[in-house]
Amino acid sequence: MGDFGVISDVSTVIVETLTRSLRGLSQVDPPIAELNDLSETVQTSPPKLTVFLYEIAEDPTSRNRPPVRSLPPDAPTTRKPPMALLLRYLVTPWGGDPPTQHRMLGRALQALYDDAILDGVQLTGSLAATNDALHVSLTPLTLDQKSWIWYAIQKPYRLSLNYEVRVVNLDSAAATEVRPVRSRVFEGVPTP
């Protein structure tokens, strides 16, 4: 499960996965993937895939989970269940000629299709050594929906991929100590 840095950790895992997939495209100037908020002009040497986190939402399918109980050595605790997050990314090629950009998109599609579930040693940061699994799926958006995303960031529309990563668990910081029952008294009810 993840602490407050889990969103950054997921973004890093996505960027590392995409960068590995781009390695074989060119020996001279291999493309890279980078986390980018698209607020500035993207440098296009070397060609790159930008990974832009454009939305964070709570995953509605994971609501109403039971509290998490732990048994530390000193006192048992209970905490709210982790907040299940849904992260939406825009993956966009920059630089090179159109065929190079299309090959970068093809590699991204291939990598995130082949590794649609990222888990185990693929996870880093607060996700490392956990049982968490990130489910990555291509999000079907209409051209209008994509245009609105580009309009919102005040950039001209570019060919891009939209991906959704779920379930990203963000641990609650609030824990409540659970006190064990030390004694109890039964009082009988008199029979008439």
Query: Residue 110: is its pLDDT beyond 90?
Result: yes
Condensed to tens digits (0 to 9), the pLDDT of residues 49-61 reads 999 999 999 988 7
What whole-number distance in Å separates Cα of residue 75 and Cα of residue 96? 59
Confidence at residue 2, expressed as pLDDT on a 0 to 100 scale: 66
Confidence at residue 1, expressed as pLDDT on a 0 to 100 scale: 55
What whole-number distance in Å separates Cα of residue 51 and Cα of residue 69? 36
Condensed to tens digits (0 to 9), the pLDDT of residues 5-16 reads 889 999 999 999
Condensed to tens digits (0 to 9), the pLDDT of residues 122-167 reads 888 888 888 888 999 999 999 999 999 999 999 999 999 999 999 8
Contact 159, 30 (CB under 8 A): no
Higher pLDDT, 44 or 111: 111
Contact 160, 90 (CB under 8 A): yes
| Count of other CB atoms within 10 angstroms of residue 130 | 14
Write down the domain spans for the chain.
Answer: 6-174
Q: Report the mean per-residue pLDDT for the chain.
A: 86
User: May I ask the CATH architecture of the domain 6-174?
Assistant: 2-Layer Sandwich (3.30)
Confidence at residue 190, expressed as pLDDT on a 0 to 100 scale: 75
Is the four-CA dihedral 7, 8, 11, 12 of positive or negative sign? negative
What whole-number distance in Å separates Cα of residue 101 and Cα of residue 164? 21
Q: Please, which pLDDT band fits residue 113 given cuts at 50, 70 and 90? A: very high
Question: For 78-90, what is the mean pLDDT?
Answer: 87
Please, what is the Cα angle at 163 between 121 and 172, to 5 degrees? 60
Task: Give the CA distances from residue 84 to residues 56, 109, 114, in Å, rounded to whole numbers and listed in that order.
Answer: 10, 25, 24
Condensed to tens digits (0 to 9), the pLDDT of residues 26-36 reads 767 789 999 99
Query: Residue 175: is its pLDDT beyond 70?
Result: no
pTM for this model (two decimals): 0.82
